[in-house]
Amino acid sequence: MKKIQVWLAAVLLALGMGLLAPGAASAEPYCGLVWGSLSESDPALSQAKVTSIRTGQHYCFDRLVIDLNGPVAGYTARYVPQVTQDGSGLPVPLRGQAFIQLAVNSPAYDENGNSTYTPADKNELANVTGYQTLRQVAWAGSFEGYSNVGLGVRARLPFRVFTLAGPDAGSRLVIDVAHFW
């Protein structure tokens, strides 16, 4: 009986000193992401034209890609209370609890005014059913050398914007929106 009391006292003492306490909770960011939710932009203008828009799902984020027929030169991505159409300022209705307005500093028309990108459905540029973060992707127009896309997202989550070269002489503007903070 004396051995049990001594052993119990030793365990209680160890717990009291923190030797057997559970480890501290990890402060690691989700999937190692260190993005934020503030505006990102590059003011340069491009001669490239928007040619297509597509989406994809990844383990830690949902992705939107805008294809251009030349080098991407500039963009602005930011959370807004409501996405608006370029030129008119009319609201673009979107599903979701938060909204990102993405402007690429490139038109969706050529020098003669001919469209280089004509979405089949301006309200649904891509089917994002089943995506973890994206709720809707809509066309907000192309006006005076700028093209705008509205993203309806589940919540105000971290995002990043970057460019990729190719294919061929083209380029891509990419926005990734994280699934969690």
pLDDT score for 81: 98
- pLDDT value, residue 143: 92
Task: Give pLDDT, residue 113.
Answer: 92
- Residue from 101, 136, 116, 140 nearest 47 by CA: 116
DSSP assignment string, the chain: -HHHHHHHHHHHHHHHTTTTPPPPPP-PPGGG---BSS-EEE----S--EEEEEEEE-SSEEEEEEEESS----EEEEEESS-B-TTT--B----SSEEEEEEESS-SB-TTS-BS---S-TT-SS--TT-SSEEEEEEEEEETTEEEEEEEESSS--EEEEEEE-STT-EEEEEEEES--
Gap between the Cα atoms of 140 and 89, Å rounded: 9
Show the domains of the chain with their CATH numbers: 33-178 (2.60.40.3500)
- What pLDDT is recorded for position 73? 84
Which mean pLDDT values do the consecutive 10-residue runs of the chain (181 residues) have? 60 53 51 89 88 96 97 94 92 97 95 95 97 98 94 97 93 96 85
**pLDDT for 3:** 66
- Is residue 22 packed enough to be buried (19+ CB in 10 Å), middle (13-18) or exposed (0-12)? exposed
Stated pTM of the model: 0.81
What is the pLDDT, as a whole number, of residue 13? 57
